Amino acid sequence: MDERGHLEDVGKHYDRTMMLETRARTRRAMASIAAEIKSGMIEEDAMDLARRTLKSAGMLRGWHAIHVRFGENTLKPFGAPSEPGVKLRDDDIFFIDIGPVWQQWEGDAGETYVVGNDPEMQRIARDVKVIFADVRNQWKVNRLTGAALYEYAARRAVSLGWRLNLDMNGHRLADFPHAAIHKGALAATTFIPATDLWVLEIQIRHPYGSFSAFYEDLLLDDDGR
């Protein structure tokens, strides 16, 4: 069996319709969390809010930990603990990264939000989505491999004045747990990734400032419709 055949296996419960439903539920939960986060809030309180929101949606169990990062903590590596007690300022940036499981299907969503009017924070939050869309388009139109997608993303980030964090480099998603099939990175794949099976992650940081922006979604060729 070639590399693709192994890395793009699915579990016995895999169902595209349910994966897309879980994606929609995950993104709705993320939006609900973001809507309640205000300047003056402490990051730990936002984490509690995220847990309550996911619990009420029946999605408290996750295949990865909940991350809500404020300000300087947006630069922390995935999985690293935040500096405690960080308060969201009047002009500030934060992102949410959640990976809940709904029934037996995995979701994953990440997005960046800005409070106030800092122009560089607004620009980076906008540009991370631009880069995501451009990379996805390269996959759809030019049929790039996973490795080539991230090479393109790094160049595109520089062209907009940012630096790409290659530690956030994409991964599989499936019926729970995808890790039983493959735990490796999208950026390490040498074939054209199939739709519905991979999460494209883009994280960019300010070259001089103390913040970053993050966006991720399931790599789909039809927007999930």
Q: Residue 208: CB partners within 8 Å, gap ≥ 6?
A: none
- Rounded to whole angstroms, the Cα distance separating 161 from 10 reads 38
CA angle 8, 10, 14 (to 5 degrees): 140
The reported pLDDT for the residue numbered 6 is 82
Delimit the domains of the chain by residue range. Answer: 3-218
- Rounded to whole angstroms, the Cα distance separating 209 from 201 reads 21
- Rounded to whole angstroms, the Cα distance separating 10 from 197 reads 9
pLDDT digits 0-9 by tens, 124-150: 999 999 999 999 999 999 999 999 999
- Rounded to whole angstroms, the Cα distance separating 162 from 58 reads 37
Question: Is pLDDT above 70 for 4?
Answer: no
The reported pLDDT for the residue numbered 1 is 42
| CATH for 3-218 (1.20.58.1880, 3.90.230.10, 3.40.50.300, 3.10.20.30) | 3.90.230.10
The reported pLDDT for the residue numbered 61 is 83
In this prediction, residues 85-100 reach a mean pLDDT of 97
- Rounded to whole angstroms, the Cα distance separating 38 from 192 reads 41
Question: Is pLDDT above 60 for 158?
Answer: yes
- Measured CA distances, 186 to 32, 151, 209 (Å): 28, 12, 28
pLDDT digits 0-9 by tens, 212-225: 999 999 999 987 54
Instruction: Check residue 29 and report its DSSP letter.
Output: H
The reported pLDDT for the residue numbered 78 is 87
Confidence label for 7 from pLDDT (cuts 50, 70 and 90)? confident
3-class DSSP state for residue 57? coil
